[in-house]
């Protein structure tokens, strides 16, 4: 009997120990989850504080960490450039009012109804015409007023054809060549002394 009682007691103790370990493990897991959740919340708050500081001081030359602020600016500009390139490839533009994606060339936004700005390509001005400085309309150079907006136009001075330059015929230059005289040696240049003749 004593053997079975001891065996039963060991089994009971082991069961109680396993249950306690399971309970401890569950409590530790729960606490670790709470820690992880709080740390994530702190990270989000740090992120919000950083964004708020950047928004307030991004153009402040006396702000702290100016190198990092400039780095964030450069990264944000590169992201915006990439997004614009993606929109160009996809053939869409951003609505200036609500930011919705609208097909390029659309007259109005399909989300808020705002009129979309259209790209105007300036065509070359035909000969004898000019553009009005007020409304950019093409009018005749002879007009004193714009027939679109009525703005007074400055008269254009007639350009007189430039007179053709008359080129004088080139005069031939006669080159006079002087004959080179032979160079005499020093001995040859000395006068020859005639022999002295006694007077008779």
Q: For residues 112 and 33, what is the distance between their CA atoms, to the nearest angstrom?
A: 44
Tell how many helices (H) and how many strands (E) occur in the chain.
3, 4
Reported as a single tens digit per residue, the pLDDT across 123-174 is 788 888 888 888 888 888 888 888 888 888 888 775 544 444 444 454 554 5
Reported as a single tens digit per residue, the pLDDT across 89-107 is 989 888 989 988 888 888 8
Which DSSP category does 145 fall into? B
Say how far residue 24 (Cα) sits from the centre of its chain: 60
Q: Of 38, 73, 82, give the one whose Cα is nearest residue 55.
A: 73
């Amino acid at each position: 009997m004593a053997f079975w009682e001891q065996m039963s007691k060991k089994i009971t103790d082991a069961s109680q120990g396993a249950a306690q370990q399971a309970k401890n493990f569950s409590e530790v897991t729960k606490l670790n989850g709470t820690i992880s959740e709080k740390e994530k919340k702190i990270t989000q708050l740090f992120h919000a504080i950083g964004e708020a500081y950047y928004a307030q001081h991004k153009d402040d030359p006396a702000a702290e960490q100016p190198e990092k602020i400039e780095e964030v600016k450069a990264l944000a500009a590169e992201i915006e450039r990439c997004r614009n390139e993606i929109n160009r490839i996809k053939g869409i533009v951003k609505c200036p009012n609500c930011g919705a994606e609208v097909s390029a060339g659309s007259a109005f936004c399909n989300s808020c109804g705002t009129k979309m700005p259209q790209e105007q390509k300036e065509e070359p001005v035909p000969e004898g015409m000019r553009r009005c400085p007020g409304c950019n309309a093409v009018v005749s150079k002879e007009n004193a007023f714009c027939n679109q907006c009525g703005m007074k136009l400055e008269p254009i001075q007639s350009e007189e054809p430039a007179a053709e330059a008359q080129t004088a015929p080139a005069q031939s230059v006669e080159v006079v060549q002087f004959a080179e005289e032979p160079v005499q040696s020093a001995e040859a240049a000395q006068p020859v002394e005639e022999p002295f003749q006694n007077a008779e």
